[in-house]
Structure formats: structure tokens, C-alpha cells
Amino acid sequence: MLVVIVCGILLLFGIVLSVIWSGERLQPPPIPHTLATANSGSPQRSPRLAVHTDGVRLFLWWAAVFTAIGTASGLLITGAGGRLIMRLLAAASPEATGGITEAQADVGEITVDGTISYLVFGALPASVLSAALFLLVAPWLPRGRLAGPSFGALLLVTLAPFLDPLRADNFDFNFVGPGWLAVIAFSLLALLQGSFLAAFAGRLSRSLPLVTRERWIGPAAPLAPAVVLFPLGIVIAVGALVAFAIPRALPWFLAVRASRQGVITGRILLAVAVVASLPFFLAAVVSIVTR
């Protein structure tokens, strides 16, 4: 019961933040002067070392936002919310109590160990993936408060039927349900995940400065979870090395992605992904609901 109460408090906190910050929009940091002049072909060339270090500074800003929103949404939304949905479905299927799920968990038992396992191997990886995708497609989403729910719907249609939580071949839906309740609950969770990512990323981006020699503890603090989440730390470390070796690559990519042509191309790609995934999503929903 204690785990359920804690998850409920965390989810409620995530919902409140999503509502309060729903008007926030991701604001990229200014490109450091050395990189801007390097990319513009200015005759006033910056020292080579400064160009490379500024490439790392810019990368670390994006890595900090990515780590923070991925970890926070994993704890507050996919972690707490997903665990509560599991409890809800188990309560709605008392005949399934004692059964073994696909993840080798006991139906009806919400334990601390099981919750930690779900968080580490399920919720956090899913949230980190969704955070990376959000930062990639953010300029291509609708402006304003529709950005978050739109991204959540995008996740729901394009990823849920193939990865989780709405895989048709997940045999958990054979004995845990009803199917319509599972579809509604997980759909709402996906929309909330998108809303939280957009809200938190927008709020954080407005207050997070670039790392400097004089001020680095505060701007680098959001990277702290990457130390504990070992694979994520390795990815960020490799990314920093690449940013140092090729400092102009990230500013170039960000400029292309946010350009008018980049936004048009990105929205076309998102539309194609939705159209291609929609039949599989509908098939998965029908399969789950009719069991």
C-alpha cells in the first residue's frame, strides 16, 4: 500500500507541473560566439581550443536538459503512473491474482523490489528514449500548449504498438484487463508523458545557462543522474568527445533542424510515420480490447 501511495503522490506532482508549465516552450541556448563566427566564415577567427571547448559546452547544455527531463518523467510519469496502472488492472482482474506476467512479476503484488526493477528496466529506458525523441522533433511540433499532447499522441501511435505498453503480442493482456481499460489508461499516460516532457523541457531551458569556467556546478547539476544510470553516462561521455572533436556539427544540425525547410521536412516525416504506424496501432488496440 505504501508503494501505491508514494506512486500516487509522484504522479500527482508530475501532473501539477505539467499543468503549471504547460505554456512553456523549449528555448535553445545562444550559440557561443566562437562557434557562431566559425560557422559564419568570419575573418576574425577564434582560437581553436576555444571553438572545441565551446562545442562541448553547447553539447553539455542539451545533454543536461535531456538527462533531466528523461529522468524526471521516468520517475513521475512512466514510473509512478505505469505502476499505478498495473495495480489498477490487477484490481480489475482479481481472477488473475498470483499469475506471472511477461516480466516475471506476480500479478497483484506491488513490492518495492518489483517497483525498482520496473523503474530501472522499463520506465527509465522508455522515458530516456522519449526525451531524446522530443528534443529531436521539438521544432516540428505545434506551438503552445498543444506541443506536449501532440508529442504524446505521436509516441502512442508510432511506438506503443511495437515496443510497449500496447504490444498486441504481450500475453499479459490475456488475463489482466479489461482490455478497454488498459488501452484508455496507457493512452492517457502517453499523453501525459508528452505533456510533461514539453512542459519541463521548456521551463528548464529558460533557466539553465551554459557551463562556464566560473559557473559549472549549477548548469551541470542536471547531469548527475547520468552518473548513476551508467549506460546513459557512457553515451553522454562519448557525445562530449564527439562534440569536442567536431564542434561545428551540433550547431549546424540545430540550425538545419529549426530552419523553415527543416521544419517542413520534419513535419512531413512525422506525418509519414503516423500514417505508416496507424494500422498497426489500431490492430493492437482491437486485439487488446477484444480479448
Q: Model confidence over 14-24: pLDDT tens digits?
A: 999 999 999 89
How many helices (H) does the chain have, and how many strands (E)? 13, 0
Would you state the pLDDT for residue 43?
A: 45
Q: What is the C-alpha to C-alpha distance for residues 288 and 160, in angstroms, rounded to an integer?
A: 13
Tens digit of pLDDT for each residue in 113-145? 888 888 888 899 999 999 999 999 999 999 889
How large is the average pLDDT for residues 182-195? Answer: 96
Cβ 121 vs Cβ 113: under 8 Å = no
User: Cα-atom radius of gyration of the chain, to the nearest Å?
Assistant: 21
Q: What is the C-alpha to C-alpha distance for residues 126 and 160, in angstroms, rounded to an integer?
A: 10
Judge whether residue 104 has pLDDT over 70: no
Tell me which of 77-91, 94-108, 188-202, 270-284 is least confident: 94-108
Judge whether residue 260 has pLDDT over 90: yes
CA distances from 222 to 72, 99, 105 (A): 10, 40, 32
Would you state the pLDDT for residue 37?
A: 67
Mean pLDDT score of the chain: 89
How large is the average pLDDT for residues 181-189? Answer: 95
Name the pLDDT band for 229 (thresholds 50, 70, 90).
Answer: confident
Cell of 28: 535553445
Which of 26-35, 36-45, 103-112, 255-264 tops mean pLDDT?
255-264
Would you state the pLDDT for residue 34?
A: 78
Would you state the pLDDT for residue 282?
A: 96
Concatenating the DSSP letter of every residue in the chain gives -HHHHHHHHHHHHHHHHHHHTTT----PPPPPHHHHHHHHT-SSPPPHHHHHHHHHHHHHHHHHHHHHHHHHHIIIIIIHHHHHHHHHHHHH-GGGTT-B-TTS-BTT---HHHHHHHIIIIIHHHHHHHHHHHHHHGGGSPSGGGHHHHHHHHHHHHTTTTSSSS-TT-GGGGTS--HHHHHHHHHHHHHHHHHHHHHHHHHHHHH-PPP-SSS-HHHHGGGTHHHHSHHHHHHHHHHHHHHHHSTTHHHHHHHHHHSHHHHHHHHHHHHHHHHHHHHHHHHHHHHHHT-
Q: What is the C-alpha to C-alpha distance for residues 81 and 74, in angstroms, rounded to an integer?
A: 9
How large is the average pLDDT for residues 253-260? Answer: 94
Would you state the pLDDT for residue 95?
A: 72
CA distances from 165 to 36, 58, 186 (A): 43, 34, 7
Would you state the pLDDT for residue 96?
A: 64
How large is the angle between the packed helices 260-289 and 179-207, nearest 10 degrees? 150
Tens digit of pLDDT for each residue in 25-77? 999 998 887 776 655 454 445 577 888 899 999 999 999 999 999 999 999 99
Kindly give, in sequence order, each residue whose CB lies less than 8 Å from that of residue 152, ignoring residues fewer than 6 positions away.
190, 191, 192, 193, 194, 195
φ, ψ at 78 (rounded to 5°): -70, -35
Judge whether residue 249 has pLDDT over 50: yes
Judge whether residue 244 has pLDDT over 50: yes
Neighbour-count burial for 135-162, b at 16+ CB within 10 Å, e otherwise: bebbbbbeeebebbbbbbbbbbbbbbbe
Tell me which of 89-98, 148-157, 270-279 is least confident: 89-98
How large is the average pLDDT for residues 232-240? Answer: 93
**Which has more confidence, 4 or 113?**
4
Judge whether residue 150 has pLDDT over 80: yes
